[in-house]
Structure 1
């Protein structure tokens, strides 16, 4: 299986790109959010999810591995295929998806194109008590992809930094005696209100206050 590709963007399409890797052009499916950050001839690193079926071999690419992890996680829900997973990721940032999952907030998932009320409810219900994905842990330095699509030379932190901080807060609350479901809901509410950049200590303190209310 292919887990990562490093190469040059040879062509861009409506829902795919061709990545030139040492003269071999890989056709990679991608979401609108990813494609909007790319330009022809740009050197990039793509985190790859490979789908192998009897009649197809498809590659899906992501600039951030936590997006790839959520792409897989969402498809564990019946009725959610690659198209619906991309629609959700294109509409909702992964930090919001994690909050919505913990809180059982179906309205967040219903914002995605093609995700109706029934499917949104199923997604929110089935994800509510599941731990969010953290992605793969890379031991090599990967290029940083700036918001303007350019690539910097500094190494990027392991994928899923926001998810790791969330898990640290949940773990702290569980160690204090709260059950995991309660802890996840409290942390999700605080992160939704205070933002994903809130210091870990503040998240834990405010979550404890939320749980005591």
Structure 2
């Protein structure tokens, strides 16, 4: 199974890319958001989800581990396939999906191409109150698989993707949720309160999010 590819973009299609890794070209399916960030001839590192079927072997690529994890989790919802999952990640960031899931916000999911109101509501209902999907981690605490492999292969002359490994508010979100849990709140209510705080205070740091979340819990 393939979990990560680090190489050079060899070719681009409508919804796929060929990544040259040591002379081998891997055909990777990607969403339109990721596709727009790929440039032929540029270095790239992608998180990979491998699907093996009786009649197919497909690789799906993502710039962040959070996106890959949500791609898998979304397909656990009845009626959501790989195409829908990619469309959802094109319409809403991984961080946005986590917020929408915590709030049960069907309207956020309905923004995805091919996702109607009924399916959006089903996604919201099935994801609400559940912890976000677990991400792959290396032996180094807090280090993602791609970061660990990149650190161990510094001599390889391949440039890293321009975007950060995770959504910018992920750290603030995690710190705020952890702080509320340490104060005695349940994980589900902590995630819901922080999601409300993020919606009302986008781009805020953990201190403001904690304060805003506590106000939500006090209501």
Give per-residue Cα distances to partners, 1:113-161, cap 9 Å, x unaligned: 10011110110011111111352223344654226xxxxxxxx66x466
Aligned residue in 2 for 1:146: 162
CA distance in 2, matches of 1:167, 1:184: 9
Give per-residue Cα distances to partners, 1:49-72, cap 9 Å, x unaligned: 101112111100112221111111
Q: Does 1:198 find its partner at 2:204? A: yes
CA distance in 2, matches of 1:9, 1:40: 5
Task: Give the gaps of 5 or more residues in structure 2.
Answer: 137-143, 152-158
Tell me the secondary structure at the aligned position of residue 198 of structure 2. Answer: helix
The Cα RMSD (Å) is: 1.8
Aligned residue in 2 for 1:152: none
Q: What is the TM-score when the length of structure 2 is the normalising length?
A: 0.86
CA distance in 2, matches of 1:72, 1:163: 19
Task: Give the gaps of 5 or more residues in structure 1.
Answer: 148-155
Give per-residue Cα distances to partners, 1:68-91, cap 9 Å, x unaligned: 111111111111111000101111
Pairing 1:58-69 to 2, within 5 Å after superposition: 58-69=58-69
Aligned residue in 2 for 1:15: 15
Choose the corresponding residue for 1:209, options 212, 215, 218.
Answer: 215
Q: Does 1:170 find its partner at 2:177? A: yes
Superposed displacement of residue 97, structure 1:
1.1
Tell me the secondary structure at the aligned position of residue 60 of structure 2. Answer: strand
Q: What is the TM-score when the length of structure 1 is the normalising length?
A: 0.88
Structure 1 residues 27 and 144: alpha-carbon distance in aligned structure 2, compared to 1, 3 A threshold: closer
Query: How many residue pairs end up in the alignment?
Result: 203
CA distance in 2, matches of 1:206, 1:51: 41
Aligned residue in 2 for 1:188: 195
Consecutive aligned runs of 4 or more in structure 1 exceeding 3 Å deviation = 140-144, 159-165
> Which 10-residue stretch deviates more, 136-145 or 86-95?
136-145
CA distance in 1, matches of 2:32, 2:9: 15
> Which 10-residue stretch deviates more, 50-59 or 133-142?
133-142
CA distance in 2, matches of 1:162, 1:51: 30
Give per-residue Cα distances to partners, 1:19-70, cap 9 Å, x unaligned: 1111111111000000101111111111111011121111001122211111
